Amino acid sequence: MPTATTALPSFDDVIARFDPVMGMEVHVELGTVTKMFCGCSTEFGAEPNTQVCPTCLGLPGSLPVVNRTAVESAMRIGLALNCHIAEYCRFARKNYFYPDMPKNFQISQYDEPIAFDGWTEVTVDTDDGPRVVPIGIERAHMEEDTGKSLHVGGSTGRIHGASHSLLDYNRAGIPLIEIVTKPIEVEAALAPAVARAYVTELRELVRALGVSEARMELGQMRCDANVSLRPRGTTTFGTRSETKNVNSLRSVERAVTYEIRRHAAVLDAGEPVVQETRHWHEDTGETTAGRTKEEAEDYRYFPEPDLVPLAPSREWVEELRGTLPEPPAARRARLQGEWGFTDLEMRDVVNAGAMGLVEETVTAGSDPAGAKKWWLGEIARTANERGAELDQVGITPQQVARVQELIGAGTLNDKLARQVVEGVLAGEGSPDEVIEARGLAVVSDDAALGAAVDDAIAAMPDAAEKVRGGNMGPVGALIGSVMKATQGQADAQRVRELILQRLGE
């Protein structure tokens, strides 16, 4: 089986011959104050094994009790995804042994999810303009997270080669909502973008609901991507692979692309695709084989006897429905109208995952175009270089708005503003601190500028003569000379006025 990217057919070649079917399974860690089944804190970053109790440690004799807020969050996610909310459902035990799971079973839901049969839609860019793609939602169910293991003694902290492992159960029992799509059938060329757009959409949605910050780099949102391929013109589903550990928006797109190409290579070689889990490696951009279907555990699900069934009343469901925020599509349409963006501009903002950030920046006082320029320009470039999300790159919407404010007030020009943003992104502090530390404010003081203007006129007598004669063409060159001499800090408007003063009247 081909393993190196070089051995795989190109994406363009593959999409000309095959159709993919995708399925996405996304785990969202809820931002509840306490865990799913006990009163331990969920706060991130505590000392190991300090946010544990008999229940989340799985001590003999301990029992779970359901967190009401977690159930409400699950129902709200379900409602926002246009799901039905079960009138009666039970938790189930998923039995398998693994040291990071204290009870050696996970309390989850099996054939009775709290929410099922819904839909959402995403917008992707095509050659014919933006296209809305509907995504069916199979189910959303509740479960608990596992602890974390630290592998010691190996060279890289990885599981292989480690001599032993150290376990911290602070994360064990944190509520998770698993959201599973129905099979997504979309033309091959769009598949990776649809996968990414879906995860982006889901992230926006849970953030808008206020149920999770969904920070993928912290593992608050984790994605498994199922991919299968079938030759164009055939109808039976191909054998699927399930790629795990796809934990950034960019990775979603890359992993789906990679798997589509890998499946094609296997099929081209006349070999059967193996039903297996695959592991995505961010660094190499490849997936490697995990467990095959034959090796898969028999989870021996059965109803959790320690928890009573849930039977949410319809009044409760309707009450929760009343708390839903504006649906993403409606919100997009509204904001596009408010901001006066074209379809194309709006699509760029959405695809960059920047809509919420632009909105916050505008709320903080910026003009929409200015906000968009920064988030899709300088900041997006930095995020891309660092492989980080836009909101984790080190600048806040309020800071961007402040930069825009300073431009508006003439304190910064474009060039200086870029330097300020660069400084903030480099961790040098707030915009004002960067300006202070780097001495970046625009010079508009006539005394300071006057000398530079005189120097420029003296250095460029021909240009000065032409301007005196009424030819305005060379003014730009003179201004440029002054800007150069002041290292870009001069107020260009004032410089122009001073040049015209000296050469005109």
Partner 1 sequence: MTARDLSRHTAGELAAAVASGEVSAVEVTQAHLDRIGAVDGGVHAYLHVDADAALAAAADVDARRAAGAELGPLAGVPLALKDVITTSDMPTTAGSRILEGWRPPYDATIVQRLRDAGVIILGKTNMDEFAMGSSTENSAFGPTHNPWDLSRIPGGSGGGSAAALASFQAPLAIGTDTGGSIRQPAAVTGTVGVKPTYGGVSRYGLIACASSLDQAGPCARTVQDAALLHEVIAGHDALDSTSIDRPVPDVAGAARQGAEGDLSGLRVGVVSELGGEGYQAGVEARFHETVELLGKLGADVVEVSCPHFSYGLAAYYLILPSEVSSNLARFDAMRYGLRVGDDGTRSAEDVMNATRGTGFGAEAKRRIILGTYALSSGYYDAYYGQAQKVRTLISRDFAAAFEQVDVLVSPTTPTTAFPLGERVDDPLAMYKNDLCTIPSNLAGNASASFPCGLADEDGLPVGLHVMAPVMADERVYRVGAAVEQAYVTQWGGYLLDQAPEVEERQ
Partner 2 sequence: MSSISRDEVAHLARLARLELEPDELDHLAGQLDQIIGAVGQVSQVAADDIPPTSHALPITNVFRDDVRRPCLSSEAALSGAPEAEEGRFRVPQILGEEQ
Could you say whether residue 485 binds partner 2 (CB under 8 A)? no
Among 21, 46, 66, 380, binds partner 1 (CB under 8 A): 66
Which is closer to partner 1, CB of 57 or CB of 265? 57
Question: Which residues inside 161-180 make contact with partner 2, applying CB under 8 A?
Answer: 162-169
Where does this chain touch partner 1 (CB under 8 A) — which range of 192-200, 213-221, 299-307, 434-442? 299-307
Could you say whether residue 104 binds partner 1 (CB under 8 A)? yes
Q: Cβ(328)–Cβ(319) under 8 Å?
A: no
- For residue 62, the partner it binds in partner 2, partner 1, none, with Cβ less than 5 to 8 A by kind, is partner 1
What is the pattern of x (binds partner 1, CB under 8 A) and - over residues 23-62?
Answer: -------------------------------x--xxxxxx
- For residue 93, the partner it binds in partner 1, partner 2, none, with Cβ less than 5 to 8 A by kind, is partner 1
CA distances from 342 to 326, 365, 369, 497 (A): 21, 21, 11, 36
As a whole number of angstroms, the distance between CA 456 and CA 174 comes to: 67
Where does this chain touch partner 1 (CB under 8 A) — which range of 263-271, 303-311, 334-342, 491-499? 303-311
Would you list the DSSP string of 318-340?
Answer: HHHHTTPPPPHHHHHHHHHHHHT
CA distances from 67 to 88, 91, 348, 404, 419 (A): 17, 13, 39, 44, 48
Among 17, 25, 41, 430, binds partner 2 (CB under 8 A): 41
- Which region, left, alpha or beta, applies to residue 278 given φ > 0 means left and ψ of -120 to 50 means alpha? beta
The residue count of the chain comes to: 505
Among 35, 76, 90, 103, binds partner 1 (CB under 8 A): 103
| Torsion angle in degrees (nearest 10) through CA of 321, 323, 327, 332 | 170
Which is closer to partner 1, CB of 277 or CB of 361? 277
- For residue 311, the partner it binds in partner 1, partner 2, none, with Cβ less than 5 to 8 A by kind, is partner 2
Could you say whether residue 63 binds partner 1 (CB under 8 A)? yes
**Six token digits for residue 302:** 């059965």
Which is closer to partner 2, CB of 279 or CB of 502? 279
Helix axes 397-408, 368-376, angle to 10 degrees: 120
- For residue 374, the partner it binds in partner 1, partner 2, none, with Cβ less than 5 to 8 A by kind, is none
Burial of 252 (0-12, 13-18, 19+ CB in 10 A): buried
As a whole number of angstroms, the distance between CA 236 and CA 22 comes to: 14
Could you say whether residue 298 binds partner 2 (CB under 8 A)? yes
- For residue 338, the partner it binds in partner 1, partner 2, none, with Cβ less than 5 to 8 A by kind, is none
Would you list the DSSP string of 434-450?
Answer: HHHHHT---B--HHHHH
Among 17, 151, 182, 438, binds partner 2 (CB under 8 A): 151
- For residue 68, the partner it binds in partner 2, partner 1, none, with Cβ less than 5 to 8 A by kind, is partner 2
Which is closer to partner 1, CB of 61 or CB of 233? 61
**Six token digits for residue 402:** 């402040």
Question: Which residues inside 116-175 make contact with partner 1, applying CB under 8 A?
Answer: 163, 165, 167
As a whole number of angstroms, the distance between CA 100 and CA 169 comes to: 7
SS (H, E, C) 168-193: ECCCCCCEEEEEEECCEECCHHHHHH
Would you list the DSSP string of 284-310?
Answer: TTEEEEEEETTT------EE-TTSPPB
Could you say whether residue 49 binds partner 2 (CB under 8 A)? yes
Which is closer to partner 1, CB of 28 or CB of 92? 92
Cα-trace Rg, the chain: 28
Where does this chain touch partner 1 (CB under 8 A) — which range of 76-84, 96-104, 115-123, 136-144? 96-104
Count of residues touching partner 1 (by CB under 8 A): 30
Find all residues with CB under 8 Å of 17, minimum gap 6, and list them.
231, 232, 264
Classify the C-alpha dihedral 310-311-317-319 as positive or negative.
negative
- For residue 103, the partner it binds in partner 1, partner 2, none, with Cβ less than 5 to 8 A by kind, is partner 1
Where does this chain touch partner 2 (CB under 8 A) — which range of 47-55, 225-233, 348-356, 469-477? 47-55
Could you say whether residue 40 binds partner 2 (CB under 8 A)? yes
Could you say whether residue 78 binds partner 1 (CB under 8 A)? no
Question: Which residues inside 75-104 make contact with partner 2, applying CB under 8 A?
Answer: 88, 90, 96-100
As a whole number of angstroms, the distance between CA 249 and CA 130 comes to: 19
Shortest Å, Cβ 307 to partner 1: 5
- Positions touching partner 2 (CB under 8 A) are 32-34, 38-41, 47-54, 57, 59, 65-71, 88, 90, 96-100, 106, 146, 149-151, 153, 159, 162-169, 277, 279, 290-291, 297-298, 300, 302-303, 305, 307-312
Which residues of the shown chain bind partner 1 in the complex (CB under 8 A)? 54, 57-66, 93, 95, 97, 99, 102-105, 163, 165, 167, 298, 300-302, 305-308
